Amino acid sequence: MTESVDAGAVRAEVEQFRVSIATLKTEIGKTIVGNEPVVDGVLMCLLAGGHALLEGVPGLGKTMLVRTLAEALSLNFSRVQFTPDLMPADILGTTVIDETQAGGKVFEFRKGPIFANIVLADEINRATPKTQSALLEAMQEHRVTVGRRTHALEEPFVVLATQNPLESEGTYPLPEAQLDRFFMKLHVPFPNREELHAILDLTTGEARPGRAAVLHRDEILRMQSLVRRVPVARHVQDYAIRVVQATHPDGPDAPDTCKRFVRFGASPRGAQSVLLAAKIRSLFEGRFAASIDDVRAVALPALRHRTLLNFEGEAEGVKTDQVLEAILKALPETKTGGGRSEAQGAPQRRGEDTRGLS
């Protein structure tokens, strides 16, 4: 009887999760046309407690997407325009000497724009490495250390950074340590003809209505908690691990494309990102169990910035996505050993998982 009640409660939570996400997407869709994979990726980062790097040419609505998300959520929002003269204190805050009412002097910490739930790091690659490194602790540990004091950041906390791939003058490549702290790297594509019509109708006509907050902080924290409780079958987790191992040229399942063009593969953070994103995708579809198809669907945005090409790969114009697609195509779903599949006897079929809601 208890198991039946628990299953019913889980179904209700999953359905409420799906409805909340659908409502949020509808609100975002009032301003953002198309780009469903990008919107899904940004929401995955928020629900996983991670960060997103949005890459695309100017004018595609990257900044507008972040602003729209912030307005659709009742969360604190701040924007930092990254420039070559930006200093770490401009992001983190600084300690100043203030005068008390009694005439004495005290040190007071004045918080910077990093102290928000959603932080837009606009054109992040235009700041110097010294300034970029100011984000490392905040992105990984969700806290900031200034002087001898450590300040915790309020949850949820997410950095949504944008960068323009065309500009080279006055830009600084993001170091590998910072790239690895992004949960996903999302490519924002150029819209097609129908989407351009919709964008022009939306932006060149009458004034657009304001956006309403449809999700609140407590709801988001509950949704983040549900994500962590989604079960993953052992063979699905093993598949995610083998995908990450195959991004290393010396990995046991690395295809020839990887061995030839990759200098270094994804870190363990990559495996964490793939698995969490797969859990969130299953919830998006109303399922309470991640599948191998979920892992495949999220592998590119979770690993493309963590798989580094060597000189030959860059010289020949190879794209990281091409390497990852070759891995997903060549990698078997199960690892066989001694003539027996690791997933043998498991109740799941490809693309589905019956655990959790039975």
pLDDT in the model for residue 224: 93
Strands 308-309 and 336-337: unpaired
pLDDT at 52 over 90: yes
Whole-angstrom distance, CA of residue 338 vs CA of residue 189: 45
Closest Cα to residue 291, out of 233, 223, 229?
A: 233
Q: b or e along 42-75 (b: 16 or more beta carbons within 10 Å of the residue's beta carbon)?
A: bbbbbbbbbbbbbbbeeebbbbebbbbbbbbbbb
- Per the CB < 8 A criterion, the answer to whether 117 and 152 are in contact is no
Assign 357 a pLDDT band (cuts: 50, 70, 90).
Answer: very low
pLDDT in the model for residue 348: 44
pLDDT in the model for residue 168: 64
User: Which residues are 184's β-sheet partners?
Assistant: 52
Amino acid in the structure at residue 22: A
Q: Which of 27-31, 82-86, 183-187, 277-281 has the lowest mean pLDDT?
A: 27-31
Q: For the chain, give the percent of residues with pLDDT over 70.
A: 89
pLDDT in the model for residue 354: 38
Whole-angstrom distance, CA of residue 330 vs CA of residue 324: 10
pLDDT tens string 223-258: 999 999 999 999 999 999 999 999 999 988 888 999
Q: What is the dihedral of CA 15, 16, 21, 27, to 10 degrees?
A: 130
Higher-confidence position of 275 and 101: 275
- Helix (H) or strand (E) holding 283, with range, is helix 268-284
Structural domains in the chain? 1-229 (3.40.50.300), 232-358 (1.10.8.80)
pLDDT at 150 over 50: yes
- Per the CB < 8 A criterion, the answer to whether 289 and 232 are in contact is yes
Q: Which of 5-9, 326-330, 333-337, 346-350 has the lowest mean pLDDT?
A: 346-350
Q: Is the pTM of this model over 0.75?
A: yes
- Helix (H) or strand (E) holding 18, with range, is helix 2-29
Average the pLDDT over 46-70 and give the result.
86
pLDDT tens string 100-117: 777 677 777 888 899 999
Higher-confidence position of 204 and 115: 115
pLDDT at 327 over 70: yes
Higher-confidence position of 100 and 273: 273
Whole-angstrom distance, CA of residue 110 vs CA of residue 96: 7
Token pair listed for 180: 């690895």
Q: What is the mean pLDDT of the chain?
A: 84
Radius of gyration of the chain, Cα coordinates, nearest whole angstrom: 22
